[in-house]
Structure 1
Amino acid sequence: MNGLLVCSLLLSMIVMIKIDLTNGECCYVALKCKEDSKSVERCWDCTEASYYCGVGKCNVVGCNCDGGCRKGDSTMWCWNVVSGCTKKHLYQQLLISSAPGSNRQLDAQYVFNSIDTDGNGKVTVDELNAYVAVKQTADGRNVAEEFNRMDKNMDGFLTVDEIDG
């Protein structure tokens, strides 16, 4: 009986280690600002955005960014109403709220659902191509190669975990 208990505990520990504990964070542009009569997109930390607001490189859908997302809060200059910055529409629709004063990030599940147009819980390379074409975020990258890189189990589909992992 003790041997069975020990085996069960070891198996439980192995399963817990294998569980992906990512926080589902995708680093989308937070603010649209009017500066010197031009439109500028800014991240949570008030820095100018490229396609996404990761500390390092993000995948083509803006998730799994090297170093996570750039952080900031409402005390920073760009959050002041007189700065001419407003929240982007996407963020007004769906935000993951966190503790007061901390950062908010777009939910990976929401991004996944936006890409999965047929709603079957799997993203195909065609769905990813269509999403990236609309968002114009390929940045010279080959979307099919990005798809294959994200497709960890090589089944020809992406799950939310693969998009964010």
Structure 2
Amino acid sequence: MAQTASAIPGKPASEATPDPAPLLLREAADTLRRLPRGLARPRLSSWPEVVRDSASLFASSQDAARRPSPPSPQAIDRMDRTLGWLLACDEEARRLVWARAMGISWRRLEDMDGRSHVTLRKIVARGHDRIRVLLAADDKKKPVIRKNSLQDL
């Protein structure tokens, strides 16, 4: 039997570290989905909204029960940073990378774009590579903080 290669030498494939780029993009898409929508209210009337019957009151309470929980401030910060990384990708890769982060299937992307899933996967991989380069550069900028830094002085 052939063993599958791991992303990390010395670790089996089952313990391989997942690719951070698609995970961060999916988290950003989920965070964006959970943000409250700004509903535009008409400016012409200052009258409060009136419930006409109990059915409309019941329907609005059911909608509120299905609404996902709001994202944390840290998730919103990560989403902002991740959306900035998308701007480093070319337009074609940006569109497809974001579509995949939103959960659109390869088949649907094929129908929308008109190209094969193999070509689309290559474009998405190119976008993920660009984001990985930015992630690596971002990691190098972070200062290294040791736990016992005060004892070293």
Is TM (by shorter chain) over 0.5? Answer: no
TM-score computed with the length of structure 1 as normaliser: 0.20
The structure with more radius of gyration = 2
Higher helix fraction (1 or 2): 2
Greater RCO structure (CA 8 Å; 6+ sep): 2
TM-score computed with the length of structure 2 as normaliser: 0.21
